[in-house]
Amino acid sequence: MSGVTNRTLRALYKPFGFGLTVTEFVSSNALQYKNERTMDMIDQHGVERPVSTQLWGNDPEIMAQAARLVRECGADIVDINFGCPAPKVTKTEGGSACLRDAGRCEAIMRAVVAAVDCPVTMKMRLGWSETDLVYIDIAKRAQNVGIKAVTLHARTAKQFYRGEADWSHIAALKRAIDIPVIGNGDLGDARDAFAKMRASGVDGVMLGRATLGNPWLVGQLRALMEGREPDASPNAPERLRFAVLHYHAMVDEWGEARAVPQMRKHLGYYLKGFPGASALRERLMRTETAAETLRIVAETIVALETPPRELAVAS
């Protein structure tokens, strides 16, 4: 979720029912230099707390230093990422590439736990490949060194996001360790997500890509967890009105030069699922100013809410 879950989005999405929000994952190496962009990635408003700051890297001492820094900057939880499959991360032996070396994973977790006075959690995949599923071994090592909870995305690194997440592995992990297990992967429908929670016995779920452009999913799942009937999903005009709110918040916080290109992808998410969305998305990808973009969105809302004119037919 790098480049996505900044403090603006977390603050906007938190009221929908998230129990915990997570920052963009950030390189432990980059944090050594404290450049403005990197520090922005771990910054928070406070309204989205509790906040977990997610770190990736391959060196135990550098990860420990990064953990101390983000804790000083307000992280309530430090999360270690052993799950990212992106080549730019794995080529440096970070993210899911760490799963190829269980000893290094353990050393990183041990160093981070010793470095901070807050809970440390860890997110991982099943393993690097289908022939090397190490998640139970890594999770047991995590439990032994003091990790407080483990999130499992039920795919291997080699799978990226292809195929389906295999939740039978998440259920197996829940049976194998005593610390809380959080399930992740293919949770785009609230009722399906709730069914997977109950079947696997997990203590919670992590929602990521499925919430982009659809924070209402969080409230729907929370309602089911609390024994209530979830609200219906909003119609297209309602989704676009929230997109406008998101757009204004981004411009106010980050300035137009940074907000306009960043919001292109977010508008793409909000535009899913209604007639003409594809053509409108292509049009919005070419806008250069906030005013132009918001004008097009406003016109679209009006068009969607204007009933078609009845045709007079001569008899």
Q: How far apart are CA 259 and CA 246, in angstroms?
A: 10
Q: How far apart are CA 268 and CA 254, in angstroms?
A: 19
- Pair type for strands 120-125 and 77-82: parallel
Return the axis-axis angle of helices 216-225 and 190-200, rounded to nearest 10°.
Answer: 40
Name which of 123, 116, 121, 56 is nearest 91 in CA terms: 56
Phi-psi region of 256 (alpha: psi -120 to 50; beta: other; left: phi over 0): alpha
Place of tokens 């709110």: 245
Q: Looking at the annotation, which residues are catalytic?
A: 84
Torsion of CA 33, 35, 40, 41, to 10 degrees: -50
